[in-house]
Amino acid sequence: MKIIKNKKIYQVLLTILLLVIAAFVGAGFYFFNVACVPGHKSFIKPNSTVLKRKDPLYSQKKWYYDHAKQKWYITAASGNFKLDANYLAYKKSNKTVIILHGYMNNKDSMAAYAGLFHGLGYNLLLPDARSHGQSQGKYIGYGWVEKADVVKWINQVLKRQPHQKIVLFGVSMGAATAMMTSGEKLPQQVKAIIEDCGYSNVKAEIEHEAQDLYHMPVVPRVPLVEILSGINRVKVGYFLNDGSAVNQLKHNYRPTLFIHGSRDTFVPTEMVYENYRASQGPKELWVVPGAKHAKSFATHPQAYRQHVEKFLHKYLP
């Protein structure tokens, strides 16, 4: 009788364990869809293209929306699908900035930055990241997959204009993409990088969002993120912890300007210090007083332009 009773206990415990595992795996797939599959995200406020004169960046955005744009296309570095970009020339400039947008945004959401860099005399290339905007793709790679696409965009610029001096600029996920690209083997024409509020590591950012958005305690959060990471490895091609801006910056010797809002809670401000310390080349850091996530330019428009202009004048005179 005792053996039978113990056997029943083990069966009950095994059933509970299997149910817990199934629940975690199911939750892992749910959060993978939330984090890595494009679509409506309740935690992301859509960017509006409606111009308002009270917008501190009104003039920069209006310039972008009012000007004709060339369409450029490439095939993604991995996967047989098409990526889309807008190109705007500045007279006969020998300088081009590649402007990289954030998570679930698109090239038009970077209108204000396009106006900024045009005012500084740059040609502009604004790509839609894979699975964003008018670019094709199934999954969001958080910059780790997209870095190879950026290399292809760089080569596309140089194929058309071999003597261009190139700057990589990005905000949020675009900033992480720029930093991750910095550790790749790049043409010598890439002269500088500017990142605004990029995260240090994909896994660290997703763990932070699990806590910040869902108030998830540590005990379920850790295995859930590990399961999500495994799903990501199968579907997207990398474990979340591999997606490290910090590790890529350790191979970066190009001048880099790091910008981050002091009140950023979406990508915690402390991440910028990790990124800054990792970079091996000339570097500058500006923590923007009072700025929330991706709001540094809107919070201090004149100071933002001055910091960017001074940095670029130093390295791309």
Whether residues 63 and 143 fall in one domain: yes
Whether residues 168 and 226 fall in one domain: no
174 vs 6 pLDDT, higher one: 174
Whether residue 260 has pLDDT greater than 70 = yes
Q: Which two tokens stand for residue 183?
A: 């550790």
Asked whether residue 85 is assigned to any structural domain, the reply reads yes
Structure confidence at residue 105 as a pLDDT band (50, 70, 90): very high
Q: Which two tokens stand for residue 96?
A: 């081009």
Q: Is the dihedral of CA 250, 252, 253, 258 positive or negative?
A: negative
Asked whether residue 206 is assigned to any structural domain, the reply reads yes
Judged by DSSP in three states, 194 sits in strand
pLDDT digits (tens, 9 = 90+) for 214-254: 777 765 677 889 999 999 999 999 999 999 999 999 999 99
Structure confidence at residue 50 as a pLDDT band (50, 70, 90): confident
Whether residues 192 and 105 fall in one domain: yes
Asked whether residue 49 is assigned to any structural domain, the reply reads no
Whether residues 81 and 173 fall in one domain: yes
Structure confidence at residue 1 as a pLDDT band (50, 70, 90): low
Whether residues 280 and 196 fall in one domain: yes
Whether residues 233 and 114 fall in one domain: no
Of 219, 238, 257, the one marking the end of a domain is: 238
Whether residues 270 and 133 fall in one domain: yes
Whether residues 254 and 129 fall in one domain: yes
Asked whether residue 25 is assigned to any structural domain, the reply reads yes
CATH for 149: 3.40.50.1820
Asked whether residue 30 is assigned to any structural domain, the reply reads yes
pLDDT digits (tens, 9 = 90+) for 3-17: 555 667 767 666 776
Asked whether residue 253 is assigned to any structural domain, the reply reads yes
Of 238, 266, 299, the one marking the end of a domain is: 238
Whether residue 37 has pLDDT greater than 70 = yes
Question: Distance between CA atoms of 315 and 239, rounded to whole angstroms?
Answer: 35
Task: List, as one string, the DSSP characters of 100-145.
Answer: E--TT--GGGGHHHHHHHHHTT-EEEEEPPTTSTT---SS--TTTT
- Residue 60's pLDDT is 97
Of 238, 259, 286, the one marking the end of a domain is: 238
Q: Which two tokens stand for residue 314?
A: 């130093």
Candidate from 23-32, 104-113, 157-166 with smallest mean pLDDT? 23-32
Domain span including residue 25: 1-37+202-238
Residues 6+ apart with CB under 8 A from 149: 74, 76, 77, 83, 127, 129, 130
Whether residues 73 and 113 fall in one domain: yes
Largest separation between any pair of C-alpha atoms in the chain? 91
Whether residue 20 has pLDDT greater than 80 = no
Whether residues 175 and 306 fall in one domain: yes
Asked whether residue 83 is assigned to any structural domain, the reply reads yes
Whether residue 179 has pLDDT greater than 90 = yes
pTM above 0.85, yes or no: yes
How many domains does the chain fold into? Answer: 2
Asked whether residue 47 is assigned to any structural domain, the reply reads no
Average pLDDT, the chain: 92
